[in-house]
Amino acid sequence: MQIQLTTSQPLASQTLVIPVRQTDELSHTLSALANRFNLEPATLQHDFKADFKEVLSLYQADGQKVYLLGLGTEPTTMGWLRAFRELFFRQKERLSRTVGVDLTGFDADVIESVVLGIRWGGYNLKLHATDQPKTADFYSEEGVLQIYSADYQQLPAEEILHRAEAIADTHRQMLDLMNSPSNYKVPQTLADWAVASGQQHGYSVTVFDQAEIERQGLLALLSVNKGSEHPPVFIIAEYKPVDQPAARKVGLVGKGVTFDTGGISIKPSTGMHLMKSDMGGAAAVLGTLEVAAKLRLPVHLIGIVPATENMVDGAATKPGDVIGSYLGKTIEVIDTDAEGRIILADGLGYMVRNFQPDVLIDLATLTGSVIGTLGYHAAGLFSNNDDLTRQLLNSANQTGERLWPLPLWDVYKEDIQSDVADLKNFSGKPLAGAISAAKFLEVFTESHPAWAHLDIAGMAFTDTEFGTQKNATGFGIRLLINFLMGTQIERI
């Protein structure tokens, strides 16, 4: 499917989508639409209220189909995306090969959400089904999306469309990675994807195999991997903007557990099949690196992904074992199902020692505790830097990938105190689990002055219209790209 930007000329698309806000002027808007399409205004006002995701289909005498799409009262960026995603997903078999979207009454900024929603609406979750559904005409190579905007908005619209398309393609690949089952996705799969992406988009990728991981002393990662037949990898991706040697340096670290049984502290069988998703942090980091390189953002970006399975066999790390780490600190493993923070310890330690980033952010599907706190509507944000917190919250509000700040008070240090080692990986208490996990990670940042931890457990894999069970969202890529594009990053 190709996308064309054009001005508000006579609309020739076989299918037309018109988004409508629920404002005080709604009756006037509907009267104008009624006149435009030769309808009775009173009937249209009775049948369509512009509620969020409400759809009304109109059929014209010339065969054109028109969808009025309700946006509700104050549509957010995510609201635009979700409304268009659901409409195009539900109606994709009914769409004509050419579809127009009339955005002449809106700012060009909404184009990003519209395009991402439409692209996502064509996503095929049946990655390994033998009976693949036929590609809808609109989503075929011959499909055309025509976006109509006002003359004066054409220049910003082109830039926004370029960014949206860069994000959309990478986002789809991350959905595929996260939705793939563990027998199709092992740690090396993530490494292979990163290497191929780096070669295509011009950024460097280094992958440590197990021998190099041992040589480097990444002992925490090795301990989690001990029960798996698939060796771990340690991925380092680096994008440097051309001719900007003084660009701010941002380090991203993502948890890459391609399947999590819980180890010896094994999870209940209910829901374990969804643990193929435990690399949502890795997906956010890898996706952000690729998009940043495609957009040539003026920031020096380093992404680190420690990747492994967390499996059970006779060699697996046991509760009560004391393990080492890259920074030399010893960890008492109270719960082997708290493995994400263990591998992130090595990722964070390697990042601060070898790259000294100006800003350090880690992302992980880390705790069920954060879901108990925030549900499936926001990720937990922990940071020691008020400016960084403010900027991340601003990006969250702009993209709709919500964050909510939670405390990092030192009183919570008691939850990670060990009797036999430098610290322990789990408090053993049925409360404040996300906070104690963040305090554990903080130790391995070596008091970095601008660090943020994002616990995305409730956001990376959740219910959508695409399937009967939870599936990937690609959470974090849009959030981080928006953050990296912000000029205020210079002041952190």
Is 348 within 8 Å of 253 (Cβ atoms)?
Answer: yes
Is 229 within 8 Å of 218 (Cβ atoms)?
Answer: no
Give the C-alpha separation, 302 to 240, whole Å.
Answer: 9
CA distances from 333 to 138, 297, 311, 340, 424 (A): 52, 40, 15, 12, 6
Q: Which of 21, 172, 249, 267 is catalytic?
A: 267
Is 343 within 8 Å of 224 (Cβ atoms)?
Answer: yes
Q: Which of 65, 163, 294, 341 is catalytic?
A: 341
Closest CA to 441 of 425, 459, 427: 425
Is 313 labelled as part of a ligand binding site?
no
CA torsion sign for 222, 225, 231, 234 is: negative
Q: Verify whether residue 341 is a known catalytic residue.
A: yes
Is 398 within 8 Å of 480 (Cβ atoms)?
Answer: no
What's the maximum distance between 2 C-alpha atoms anywhere in the chain? Answer: 80
Is 339 labelled as part of a ligand binding site?
yes
Q: Is 351 helix (H, G, I), strand (E, B) or coil?
A: helix
Q: Verify whether residue 53 is a known catalytic residue.
A: no
- Strand pairing partners for 99? 15, 145
CA distances from 462 to 24, 62, 412, 485 (A): 35, 42, 29, 27
Is 260 labelled as part of a ligand binding site?
yes
- Strand pairing partners for 306? 234
End-to-end Cα, the chain, rounded Å: 41
Can you say which residues are annotated as belonging to the binding site for Mn(2+)?
255, 260, 278, 337, 339
Catalytic residues: 267, 341
